[in-house]
Amino acid sequence: MLNYRLQDKVAIIGLDDGKANAVGHGFVDAMTEGLDRAERDAAAVVITGREGVFSAGFDLKEIAKGAQERTELVNRGAAMLLRLFCFPQPLVVASAGHAIAAGALVLLAADTRLGAAGDFKYGLNETAIGMSLPPFGMEMAKCRLSKRHQTQAILQAQLYDPNTAQEVGYLDQVVAAQELETQAIEQATALADLPSAAYAGTKLDVRRDYIDRIAASLA
């Protein structure tokens, strides 16, 4: 699941379960291990997913097992996303495919988001599948998505192609698939040169109100 490597001062956390990269316990464990190592080893981080599918969201098979299993997984996923949202080092995500539901929330939790050009979809589809976006997801969406698009993106469960996803706020840049990881590493390397304490502190200051509301919802 986890492919971790260092390139100079950038940690690359590759997540690939060979299927849809669903956010299950294995995904959370792999992300946690990667972040733990990156926080010790690196000055910036790039997160990549499976080619064609960055992540299809929470593991619905696990959620369908029952209320206890659903609560445990969602709580672990929420804690992972909050950690990404507060992560002290610059955090770049390179999405080489679909990013849906919790997969899209990983993008919203990151600092810089690059997506591959192609026939891919981005969005929060919870309403369309009969679910409500949990408070931690709502706060991240309100923080990062264009206010003009929030009703369509959050309430109406609209999915977007990469170029429109950039306009809406899921992505910052759309690049050719063959250039995706190289550009992500280049941008992370440049961000790593910023003063680390100032970067970490300013990130928390900018996101403070959202972080506090997410933390309160998980208490």
Q: What is the pTM of this model?
A: 0.98
**What residues form DSSP beta bridges with 212?**
none
Rounded average pLDDT per 10-residue block, the chain, 219 residues: 97 97 97 98 97 96 94 97 98 98 98 98 96 96 98 98 98 98 98 98 98 95
Span 2-218 CATH architecture: Alpha-Beta Complex (3.90)
d(CA 152, CA 26): 32
Looking at residue 127, what is its pLDDT? 97
Looking at residue 219, what is its pLDDT? 83
Q: What residue has token string 């981080």?
A: 45
Phi, psi of 9 (to 5 degrees): -100, 15
29 exposure class (CB count in 10 Å sphere: 0-12, 13-18, 19+): middle
Q: Are strands 112-116 and 2-7 parallel, antiparallel or unpaired?
A: unpaired
Q: Which two tokens stand for residue 156?
A: 């109406």
Looking at residue 31, what is its pLDDT? 98
d(CA 139, CA 175): 28
